[in-house]
Structure formats: structure tokens, C-alpha cells
């Protein structure tokens, strides 16, 4: 196994700079995810690691060995593609054995390692089946077995679950994570699915326009977004507009609609400056009649616009006094009845608020 060091990686296509001087270190045995919307550069960066695209600048190393000057077949990687890339004219065993035969592994060793790989992905006994006889989840396991059977230093997965239905995606992502933990193999996983990334990753790099917007643990990226883009991309968030009414030292009074609250001032803010205040729906709670806020909480008056029951969650759409929308999510119905048209007070902790200066028009 090996760590991966990327230093100043750059790649463009015509006038589009797909990867912009990216530098990062992926640790030995880490499950690392490149996450972002379509066109952000995550797949291009993965292809640079794999050798399917050439660097225009920078370097890539596995451990102490520089590999960006090597062809793909000499980089000792295992690759799982979005469409599986299973050969229809080969059996399951033939597909898995393909990389071993290309490396001139002795026939006896090929048979043994194929059986070991089948067992690893829970496909024992299916080696003689043809691809068209398998389900989508089984085909994905074949692709993973084929990548792992060559005993690579690094495992690369490019949107590996995008062709599966929702329930199977959840099952397969758990299996991939458990397999990676058991093998301890350095893994780079590409996805546009935020929930998938949060569920499997040790660290996540959120990408946009060829750059890394934020790098951190799943909890850091979700709870402490580094930019408004990350806050919005990593699931539903409320973006409230605030105006700095006054500043005193490290604190500032911020006006949200008709309510003024005191917040820490992480930026060089002055009176009159406008802010974007981001808070997740699950960070909000409805105050009961006569109930006050706890220490460190903010309360806003709102009107319930609608209530949506979706099994384990209740989602409320609310409207603040200035007309701003607010979304609230809870695991169960509120202790006090709530219906459309009701006026309520909504509370949330100041530590759950992410503050970003509003860009000048």
C-alpha cells in the first residue's frame, strides 16, 4: 500500500482549466473522496492519478516513487469504472483473471487468486457465469474483484455506484467501505453524491471549478463549511441574509429581518456590511409555548407554511417576518402541535451558524 502526494497538478482541455494547481496528500490506507458537481474536475484529477490523462504541470508520487511519468500499466493501480467495463465475452472468472494474465502470472497462481478474489467480494461459485447472468450489484463486485486481484498499491473508483438503484447503492457503499477497511488499501473515490461521500470517507475534498474548496473530515465539511458553495452543496442549508448593525471587539450585532442577534465576528466586518448566515434544517427546533432559549441560542419568529411527513423525518417550511424562507427538519413530530398558518418561535445555537461575507454586487 502507499500514500499519494499530488503537487501543483494542472490539466486543461482547450480553454477550460479542469484541474487548477491542486496540491494534496492522501495517507497510506486512507479512504479519500473527491466530491463535487459535474464538471468540477474530480474525475480529471482521478484520471491524472491513473495515468489516463497527462499532467500539464506538477507531479504525482506513490510513496517515494514519482509515477506521473509512468504509463498506466506500470503504476500498480486498480481501477473501477462508472460503467464497470466488464468484458461480455469473458466469464466472471475470465474478467477477474484478465489483469493477471496480462502480467504473465503463472496459470496455477491465476486460478488461486481468482478464487480468493471471488471469495473477497462474496461471489464464490459464480466464476463460470457470464456477465449477462448477473445483477447490477454482482457486476459491481466483479469490477472490484478484477481491480483488487492484481494487488494494487492504490484503488481508484470513479462514480462506482451511479448505475445502481437507491437501495442497492446504500448496500454497496457499505460493502466497499468494509472491504477497504479489511484490506487497508489506499483508496480514492469519486462521487457527486454528498450522502455517499459522508458515509464512506475518512476525508473529503470538495471540488469546484478545478480547485479544492475544502478538505477535511466528513463532519468538518458538513458542519463547518469553508465557503457558501460548500455549505449549499453539502445538503440542504438555510441561507439567511444579515446586516451588521454594530461591532464591538470580537462580537457584532446582526439584524436578521426584524430581529437583532449577537454573533462572533470572524471576518473584518463593519456596520452596514451584509452577511450570509448558514444553518442546517436539523439544527433548528420549535420552542414550546412559554419556553425560552437556552444559553447560546438565537430565536426567530416564524410562520409555518407547510408540514411534510416523510417517514422518519418531519420537514417544516417556515417564513420569517421579512418573508425569508426557512426549512426545519426533525426526527419526530414536535411536542406541541404545529400546522400551516401557526406562528412559532424557532431556536438554534450560535455554534451551528456558518457566517460568510456577502459578495459585493
Backbone φ and ψ for 185, nearest 5 degrees, come out as -90, 140
Q: What is the helix (H) or strand (E) element at residue 285, kind and residue range? A: strand 285-286
Q: How many CB atoms lie within 10 A of CB 6?
A: 20
Three-state DSSP state, 104: coil
Rounded Cα distance between 175 and 82, Å, is: 17
Convert 50-85 to b/e letters by CB count within 10 Å (16 or more is b).
Answer: bbebebeebebbbeeeebbeeeeeebbbbbbeeebe
Three-state DSSP state, 247: strand
* Domains defined along the chain, listed by start: 4-233 (3.40.50.300), 238-357 (2.40.50.140)
CA atoms within 13 A on the CB side of 1: 16
Rounded Cα distance between 280 and 198, Å, is: 15
Rounded Cα distance between 198 and 200, Å, is: 6
pTM of the model: 0.91
Listed in sequence order, the residues at least 6 apart from 277 whose beta carbon sits closer than 8 Å to its beta carbon are: 239, 240, 241, 242, 254, 256, 263, 353, 354, 355
DSSP string, 150-163: T--SEEEEESTTTT
Largest CA distance in the chain: 78
- Give me the tens of pLDDT residue by residue for the chain, a chain 361 residues long: 799 999 999 999 988 999 999 999 999 999 999 999 999 999 999 999 999 999 999 999 999 999 999 999 999 999 999 888 999 999 999 999 999 999 999 998 999 999 999 999 999 999 999 999 999 889 999 999 999 999 999 999 999 998 888 888 999 999 999 999 999 999 999 999 999 999 999 999 999 999 999 999 999 999 999 999 999 999 999 999 999 998 888 888 898 888 888 888 766 778 888 999 999 999 999 988 778 888 889 899 999 999 988 888 889 999 998 889 999 998 877 666 678 899 999 999 999 999 998 876 5
Q: Do the beta carbons of residue 272 and residue 252 sit within 8 Å?
A: no
Rounded Cα distance between 185 and 152, Å, is: 8
The whole-angstrom distance between residue 217's C-alpha and the CA centroid of its chain comes to 10
Q: Do the beta carbons of residue 48 and residue 75 sit within 8 Å?
A: no
Three-state DSSP state, 94: helix
Residue 127's pLDDT is: 95
Amino acid at each position: 500500500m502507499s500514500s499519494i502526494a499530488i503537487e501543483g497538478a494542472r490539466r486543461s482541455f482547450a480553454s477550460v482549466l479542469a484541474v487548477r494547481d491542486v496540491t494534496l496528500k492522501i495517507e497510506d490506507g486512507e479512504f479519500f473522496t473527491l466530491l463535487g458537481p459535474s464538471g468540477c474536475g474530480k474525475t480529471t484529477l482521478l484520471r491524472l492519478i491513473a495515468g489516463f490523462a497527462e499532467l500539464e504541470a506538477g507531479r504525482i508520487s506513490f510513496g517515494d516513487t514519482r509515477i506521473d511519468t509512468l504509463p498506466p500499466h506500470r503504476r500498480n493501480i486498480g481501477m473501477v469504472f462508472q460503467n464497470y467495463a466488464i468484458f461480455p465475452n469473458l466469464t466472471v472468472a475470465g474478467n477477474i483473471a484478465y489483469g493477471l494474465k496480462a502480467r504473465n502470472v503463472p496459470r496455477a497462481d491465476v486460478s488461486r487468486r481468482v478464487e480468493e478474489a471471488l471469495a473477497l467480494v462474496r461471489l464464490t461459485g459464480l466464476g463460470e457465469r457470464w456477465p449477462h447472468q448477473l445483477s447490477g450489484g454482482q457486476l459491481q463486485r466483479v469490477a472490484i474483484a478484477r481491480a483488487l486481484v492484481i494487488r494494487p498499491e492504490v484503488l481508484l473508483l470513479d462514480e462506482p455506484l451511479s448505475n445502481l438503484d437507491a437501495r442497492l447503492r446504500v448496500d454497496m457503499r457499505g460493502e466497499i467501505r468494509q472491504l477497504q477497511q479489511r484490506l487497508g488499501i489506499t483508496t480514492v473515490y469519486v462521487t457527486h453524491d454528498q450522502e455517499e461521500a459522508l458515509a464512506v470517507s475518512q476525508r473529503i475534498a470538495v471540488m469546484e471549478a478545478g480547485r479544492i474548496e475544502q478538505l477535511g473530515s466528513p463532519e468538518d465539511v458538513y458542519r463547518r463549511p469553508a465557503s457558501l458553495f460548500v455549505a449549499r452543496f453539502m445538503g440542504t442549508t438555510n441561507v439567511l441574509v444579515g446586516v451588521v448593525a454594530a461591532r464591538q471587539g470580537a462580537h457584532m450585532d446582526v439584524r436578521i429581518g426584524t430581529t437583532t442577534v449577537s454573533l462572533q465576528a470572524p471576518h473584518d466586518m463593519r456596520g452596514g456590511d451584509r452577511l450570509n448566515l448558514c444553518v442546517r434544517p436539523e439544527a433548528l427546533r420549535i420552542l414550546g409555548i412559554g419556553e425560552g432559549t437556552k444559553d447560546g441560542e438565537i430565536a426567530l419568529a416564524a410562520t409555518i407554511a407547510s408540514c411534510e411527513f416523510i417517514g422518519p423525518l418531519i420537514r417544516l417550511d417556515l417564513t420569517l417576518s421579512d418573508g425569508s424562507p426557512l426549512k426545519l427538519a426533525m426526527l419526530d413530530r414536535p411536542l406541541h402541535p404545529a400546522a400551516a398558518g401557526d406562528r412559532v418561535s424557532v431556536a438554534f445555537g450560535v455554534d451551528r451558524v456558518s457566517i460568510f461575507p456577502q459578495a459585493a454586487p
